[in-house]
Copies of this chain bind each other. A is one copy, B any other.
Amino acid sequence: MTQSEENYLKAVYHLEGSQMGKVNTNAIADYMRTKPSSVTDMVKKLSEKGLLNYKRYQGVSLTVPGTKKALSVIRKHRLWETFLVEKLDFSWDEVHEVAEQLEHIESEKLIDQLDSFLGFPKADPHGDPIPDKNGELEEQHTRLLSLLPVNSSSICVGVRDTSVSFLNYLDKNKIALGDQIQVLEKEAFDDSVHIQIGERKLHLSNRIASNLFMK
Residues of A whose CB lies within 8 Å of any CB of B are 84, 87-90, 94, 97-98, 101-102, 105-107, 109-110, 113-114, 117
Given A98-B109, A102-B102, list of 17 further CB < 8 A pairs? A84-B110, A87-B117, A88-B110, A88-B113, A88-B114, A88-B117, A89-B113, A90-B113, A94-B109, A97-B107, A98-B105, A98-B107, A98-B110, A101-B105, A101-B106, A101-B107, A102-B105
**A90 and B105 contact, CB distance less than 8 A:** no
Is B109's CB under 8 angstroms from A90's CB?
A: yes
Which interface residue of A84, A88, A102, A113 has the most chain B CB atoms within 10 A?
Answer: A88
How many monomers of this chain does the complex have?
2
Cα of A94 to Cα of B108 in the assembled complex, Å:
12
Residues of B within 8 A of A102 (CB): 102, 105
Q: How far is the CA of A192 from the CA of B99 in the complex (A)?
A: 49
Name the B residues within 8 Å of A88 (CB-CB). Answer: 110, 113-114, 117
Taking CB as reference atom, which chain B residue is nearest A97?
B107
Chain B nearest Cβ from A156, distance in angstroms: 27
Task: Write the chain B residue with the least CB distance to A106.
Answer: B101
Contacts of A90 in B (CB 8 A): 109, 113
Q: Which residues on the B side are within 8 Å of A97 (C-beta)? A: 107
Q: Which of A84, A101, A110, A117 has the most CB of B within 10 A?
A: A110
Chain B residue with the shortest CB-CB distance to A111: B88
CA distance A144 to B113 in the complex (A): 35
**A101 surroundings in chain B (CB, below 8 A):** 105-107
Ordered by A's residue number, 17 sampled pairs between the chains whose C-beta atoms are within 8 Å are A84-B110, A87-B117, A88-B110, A88-B114, A88-B117, A89-B113, A90-B109, A90-B113, A94-B109, A97-B107, A98-B105, A98-B109, A98-B110, A101-B106, A102-B102, A102-B105, A105-B105
Taking the closest CB of chain B, its distance from the CB of A9, in whole angstroms, is 19
